[in-house]
Structure 1
Amino acid sequence: MDTQRTIDAPDTVGPVLCLADIGFDAPAALLAAYGLTLHRVPDGAPIPGSYWGAPEAGIIGVDVHARGDTPVHSLLHEAGHLIVLPPECRAAVHTDATDSVEEEDATCYLQIVLADALPGVGRDRLMADMDTWGYTFRLGSTRAWFEQDAEDARAWLLARDLLPL
């Protein structure tokens, strides 16, 4: 097992990068490449399929729901849950997609890698935002986990052809 990880969405969050900061176009294109659709939720409205509640992204089937105040790390994490699932299993997903610790670890790894595909984001910013938001890893930071303790998550993704070599 790679991580001893919890995610505690704080009541007040420091400055993390949100969709309003980068726009919806690049994230929508990234998700579309994986067969997913990004739906923009009006500011202040509830986010369908959000596990943690607003402003966290939500997932229902192949649809990812987010608002302008949704953190980019949340969007990539929830989309990552759908990406790691076989396409035939996605339709059954509503709000919670985690099937195992291995899948959760793979999702965390994938969200970091996907950040490099978004202009103005990148893995360094995403890992800092994950730490700010409250992700905790056994080695003390997202970066330490990603660089020193995530080989099982990377192998899991490579075995399913979900990462470039």
Structure 2
Amino acid sequence: MLTMADIGFDDAAALLHRHGLTLLRVADGEPIPGSYWGEREAGIIGTSVYARGDTPVHSLLHEAGHLIVLPPERRAAVHTDATDSIEEENAVCVLQALLADALPGVGLARVLADMDAWGYTFRLGSAAAYVEHDADDAWAWLQAHGLIDGQRALLFPTGA
């Protein structure tokens, strides 16, 4: 799995900043604040995403996605678990794959493969099959919430 140490923190920090989020690096071996899964998985508290060098990139993008889909006024109350619904969780799975294309050296295909390696499970057997053939509800959710356009392209906010 591709980790933050593999890609560095600068591009990921810039990507999160475009969405009004802050990436905070946690020292190697230290517990990650706000981590739902523990160990090396990314954490979220308020508008901050926490990660170590051994944090998988897909984990960082997934947790950031949870904050990105929330209206700014709801982000402040988030600590560790941000999901309100299955629909939102599905949308975040698609969003994390789309965000991967905005990171040099990462890309959608790599994150989808890493999601499978981590243990995400989908009806059609893989994250790629889900995103391509079984995620119409997630795509519609992202579009209804102004995060993608009709062509399924990300719409980045103009200000942080």
TM-score interval w.r.t. the shorter chain? over 0.9
Q: Which has the higher contact order (CA 8 A, sep 6+)?
A: 1
Q: Note the alpha carbon deviations across 1:13-62, whole angstroms, 9 max, x for none.
A: xxx00000000000000000000000000000000000000200000000
Please give the secondary structure, in 2, of the residue aligned with 1:30: helix
Which stretches of structure 1, 4 residues or more, deviate above 6 A after TM superposition? none
Summarize deviations over 1:106-141 as a string: whole Å, max 9, x none.
000000000000000000000000000000101100
1:79 counterpart letter in structure 2? A
**CA–CA separation in structure 2 for the residues paired with 1:86 and 1:78:** 15
Match of 2:55 in 1: 70
In the alignment, the residues of structure 1 paired with residue 147 and residue 27 of structure 2 have an alpha-carbon distance, to the nearest angstrom, of 31
- 1:114 aligns to 2:99 (yes or no): yes
User: Match of 1:159, as an amino acid?
Assistant: A
Normalised to the residue count of structure 1, the TM-score between the two structures is 0.90
Q: Distance in 2 between matches of 1:162 and 1:54?
A: 30
Structure 2 unaligned runs (5+)? 151-160
Counterparts of 2:63 and 2:24, CA distance in 1: 13
Q: Deviations over 1:58-100 (max 9, x none)?
A: 0000000000000000000000000011111000000000100
CA RMSD of aligned residues (A): 0.6
Partner of 2:8: 23
Q: Normalising to structure 2: TM-score of the pair?
A: 0.93
Q: Which residue of 2 aligns with 1:131?
A: 116
How many positions carry a matched residue from both structures? 150
**Identity of paired residues, percent?**
73
